[in-house]
Amino acid sequence: MIAVHGRKAVTDSIRAELEAARRGIVSGIAPPETAELVARIERRLVEEARSRLVPVFNLTGTVLHSNLGRALLPEVAVEAIRSAATQACTLEYDVDAGARGDRDLLVEPLLTRLTGAEAATIVNNNAAAVLLVLNTLAARREVLVSRGELVEIGGAFRIPDVMRSAQARLVEVGTTNKTHKADFENAIGPKTALVLKVHTSNYAIVGFTSSVSRVDLAAMARNRGLPVVEDLGSGTLVDLTGFGLPKEPTPQDALRAGVDLVTFSGDKLLGGPQAGIIVGRRDLVERIKRNPLKRALRVDKLTLAALESVLRLYLDPDRLPERLPTLRTLTRTEPELRAQAERLFPALCKAMSGVADVTIEACRSQIGSGALPTEHVLSCALVIRPRGGRDGKRLARIERGLRFLAVPVIGRMAGRALFLDLRCLDPMHEATLSARLAEFQLPDV
Ligand SMILES: *Cc1c(COP(=O)(O)O)cnc(C)c1O
């Protein structure tokens, strides 16, 4: 055990198991035999040596699943990370001048070229981007937001709370379902710093509704000398309708409409590493870069390496679906997924024999991560329905059994069935999934 795990870890494990045995004795449980004690010590060591961050099969159908790591990076980005991680690099060094450089300059020219913005800067994630923009431009002043856009994103990002953390005062404008231009005009006062538009990433207000268009909002704000900032959430740099996907607004759309600053995520539809991207007016971006908070929220070289290589792929949008995993996954067709389902069907039927029935069914997958909440893409799933309808707990046991495989299989429960949506299963990993399914066992509880 020492040869495998080291003396320190083995000693700790022995002490922990002896302690547990002593506690057992105190409460009347007989101490384990020596062989059993040794086995427990080794089990503890193996358990503690196991990484907590392990790969899973994302068969939820949600392509950008925040709990399962969002966007998968293309190979070029992985190579860029490897190179930046293992060799000294020009993170903040200008080779031509032989002097200190600016890490933002690694990606700023690409971002301005792709979005048409004057300037750009990068922080840790989009939540940080919104925080930094508000703190820089609106600390101790007022920010106008439509009541229809007071968003809560998963993981406790809520516009009123972010506003408070940024030391800005939120001024709610209009109503939940209707906000008019006049509502904004009437709310402007001497303390107003900016107008914030927030993409309603994870919900839709439908029915008797109206909101102020970007163009109108931007024109109104410009007349009153106020900047307009838009939190776009999931920013994509291409028109997704060109790939047969639903329309999602781009930073280019927002800037063209007259928005002064746009913030968006790096690891949502963009398909890159976790990052928050801020693009827009040069004077505002310069102020943001001078905020001491920027230093605290800046990204590391690994993120910049990955982001740069992903942004480069956008220079050739025609080839994006084959090169960018997020787009490739989103554009997989239902027949393609059905063929994959048919290939996996025998392995799953065998794993479920005597336990559940398996069918192949068309379904709809979500894009996820607050992109296009009401839109779905047509997909295909292997659907598991337990046999013997009386046992209501059986489906939960099957779900657990799949989660406990050597590579956990995470599906989606819907109604009385477990859907294994194949949209996110890379054909490269199909054989591994089959092999893992062969190890399926129905857990007791
Ligand atoms: C996702 C999202 C955020 C948070 O972005 P992260 O990159 O996850 O920090 C903020 N605002 C909106 C509208 C979003 O959709």
Counting ligand 1 atoms within 8 A of each CB, the residue from 153, 264, 269, 367 with the most, and so the one to mutate, is 153
Confidence (pLDDT) at 88: 98
Distance 268 CA to ligand 1 centre (A): 9
Q: What tens digit of pLDDT does each residue of 279-303 get? A: 999 999 999 999 999 999 999 999 9
Distance 126 CA to ligand 1 centre (A): 5
Confidence (pLDDT) at 234: 87
Question: Does the CB atom of residue 124 touch ligand 1 within 6 A?
Answer: no
382 DSSP assignment: E
Confidence (pLDDT) at 387: 86
Task: Kindly give the number of the ligand 1 atom that is closest to the alpha carbon of 371.
Answer: 15
Question: Does the CB atom of residue 236 touch ligand 1 within 6 A?
Answer: no
| 3-state SS class at 358 | strand
Distance 251 CA to ligand 1 centre (A): 14
Confidence (pLDDT) at 373: 64
CB atoms < 10 A from the CB of 163, how many?
A: 23
Beta-bridged to residue 63, according to DSSP, are none
Nearest C-alpha to atom 1 of ligand 1 is from which residue?
233
Q: How far is CA 29 from CA 23, 35, 107, 176, in A?
A: 9, 17, 63, 61
Residue 352: half-sphere exposure toward Cβ, Cα within 13 Å: 24
Distance 154 CA to ligand 1 centre (A): 9
Alpha-carbon 132 to chain mean position:
20
Confidence (pLDDT) at 391: 60
Report, in this order, helix, strand and coil percent for the chain, each rounded to 5: 45, 20, 35
Confidence (pLDDT) at 2: 97
Question: Does the CB atom of residue 436 touch ligand 1 within 6 A?
Answer: no
Nearest alpha-carbon partner for 304 in 98, 94, 90: 90
Distance 265 CA to ligand 1 centre (A): 6
* Contact (CB, 8 A) for 377 and 329: no
The DSSP-derived string for 244-255 is T------HHHHH
How far apart are the C-alpha atoms of 373 and 172, rounded to whole Å? 24
Question: Does the CB atom of residue 127 touch ligand 1 within 6 A?
Answer: yes
Low-confidence ranges of the chain (pLDDT < 50): none
Task: Kindly give the number of the ligand 1 atom that is closest to the alpha carbon of 198.
Answer: 13
Distance 199 CA to ligand 1 centre (A): 9
Q: What tens digit of pLDDT does each residue of 173-211 get? A: 999 999 999 999 999 999 999 999 999 888 888 888 999
Question: Does the CB atom of residue 235 touch ligand 1 within 6 A?
Answer: no
Task: Kindly give the number of the ligand 1 atom that is closest to the alpha carbon of 155.
Answer: 8
Nearest alpha-carbon partner for 232 in 188, 272, 265: 265
Structure tokens belonging to residue 171: 């001024």
Q: What is the phi/psi pair of residue 54, to 5°? A: -125, 155
Counting ligand 1 atoms within 8 A of each CB, the residue from 133, 201, 236 with the most, and so the one to mutate, is 201
Confidence (pLDDT) at 315: 97
Confidence (pLDDT) at 392: 67
Beta-bridged to residue 145, according to DSSP, are 172
Dihedral over Cα of 69, 71, 72, 78: its sign: negative
Counting ligand 1 atoms within 8 A of each CB, the residue from 161, 265, 297, 369 with the most, and so the one to mutate, is 265
Question: Does the CB atom of residue 199 touch ligand 1 within 6 A?
Answer: yes
- The 3-state secondary structure of 431-443, one letter per residue: HHHHHHHCCCCCC
- According to DSSP, the β-strands at 157-158 and 169-173 are unpaired
Phi-psi region of 170 (alpha: psi -120 to 50; beta: other; left: phi over 0): beta
| 3-state SS class at 197 | strand
Q: In what order do the strands lie in the sheet with 169-173?
A: 119-123, 276-280, 261-265, 228-233, 192-198, 142-146, 169-173
Nearest C-alpha to atom 5 of ligand 1 is from which residue?
126
Residues in contact with 327: Cβ distance below 8 Å, sequence separation at least 6, in sequence order: 243, 271, 320, 321
Q: What tens digit of pLDDT does each residue of 88-121 get? A: 999 999 999 999 999 999 999 999 999 999 999 9
